[in-house]
């Protein structure tokens, strides 16, 4: 089994990255490795909305994923959106190889508040676990404390936990076991 890779997309302040990698290593039974930063694809920017097209960045991540990567997680500072929705905290391919999380709306500064690095780290870990959960086939969880519950607002991100509930955890364990060829 090769590694679960983490990378930044576009210019990024990596302050939360170490914390994210530690959380990923805690929950996922794969070696976690950092890839060099990925350039932001030009096609991703939507000048009309002043936001970045999430789908384009996901495509770039798929292209950048090393052969045999378990998963590739991208962290970005830009504000993400898709045509239908005004913003996204992150996006992943359900049962697919890549996930993307934006720190933009996880920062207190976005809401006109003073920076809070500890809160940013906490929110980032929740969103990273959430998006990676999707890549292992999890859909939204009805348990509001589970990190897989749907957050459509920053207050909902803060309300949920930094962990998977027992059902989602059991689902992940089964998937890990089959990925590791029954070794886990």
Q: Measured from the CB of residue 36, what is the shortest distance to another protein in angstroms?
A: 27
User: Computed from CA positions of residues 122, 26, 162, 59, in that sequence, does the dihedral angle turn out positive or negative?
Assistant: positive
Q: Measured from the CB of residue 94, what is the shortest distance to another protein in angstroms?
A: 5
Residues of this chain, 107-166, that bind another protein according to CB under 8 A: 134, 139-140, 150, 152-153
Among 68, 83, 112, 181, the residue binding another protein under the rule CB under 8 A is 83
CA distance 15 to 44: 24
- 105 interacts with another protein by CB under 8 A: no
Return the residue matching tokens 């976005």. Answer: 110
- 57 interacts with another protein by CB under 8 A: no
Catalytic residue among 21, 122, 127, 131: 131
Whether 49 and 89 have beta carbons less than 8 Å apart is answered as no
Stretch that binds another protein, among 16-24, 65-73, 91-99, 102-110 (CB under 8 A): 91-99
131 catalytically annotated = yes
Decide the pairing of beta strands 4-9 and 51-53.
Answer: unpaired
Site string for another protein, 27-56 (x = CB under 8 A): ----------------------x---xxx-
Q: Measured from the CB of residue 134, what is the shortest distance to another protein in angstroms?
A: 5
- Reduce the secondary structure of 79-123 to three states and give it as a string: CEEECCEEEECEEECCCCCEEEEECHHHCHHHHCCCCCHHHHHHH
Q: Which tokens in the block code for residue 12? A: 């990024």
| DSSP symbol at 38 | B
Q: Which residues bind another protein (CB under 8 A)?
A: 49, 53-55, 81-88, 91-94, 134, 139-140, 150, 152-153
Q: Which residues are catalytic?
A: 131
């Amino acid at each position: 089994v090769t590694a679960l890779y983490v990378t930044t997309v576009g210019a990024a302040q990596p302050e939360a990255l170490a914390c994210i990698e530690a959380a990923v290593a805690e929950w996922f039974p794969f070696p976690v490795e950092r890839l060099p930063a990925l350039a932001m694809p030009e096609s991703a920017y939507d000048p009309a909305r002043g936001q970045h097209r999430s789908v384009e960045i996901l495509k770039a991540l798929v292209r950048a994923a090393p052969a045999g990567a378990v998963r590739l997680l991208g962290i970005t500072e830009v504000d993400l959106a898709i045509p239908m929705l005004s913003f996204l905290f992150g996006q992943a391919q359900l049962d697919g190889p890549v996930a993307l999380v934006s720190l933009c709306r996880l920062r207190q500064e976005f809401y006109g508040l003073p920076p809070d690095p500890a809160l940013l780290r906490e929110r980032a870990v929740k969103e990273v676990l959430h998006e990676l959960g999707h890549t292992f086939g999890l859909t939204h969880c009805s348990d509001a404390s589970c990190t897989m519950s749907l957050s459509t607002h920053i207050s909902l991100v803060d309300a949920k936990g930094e962990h998977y509930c027992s059902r989602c955890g059991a689902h992940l364990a089964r998937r890990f076991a089959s990925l590791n060829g029954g070794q886990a």
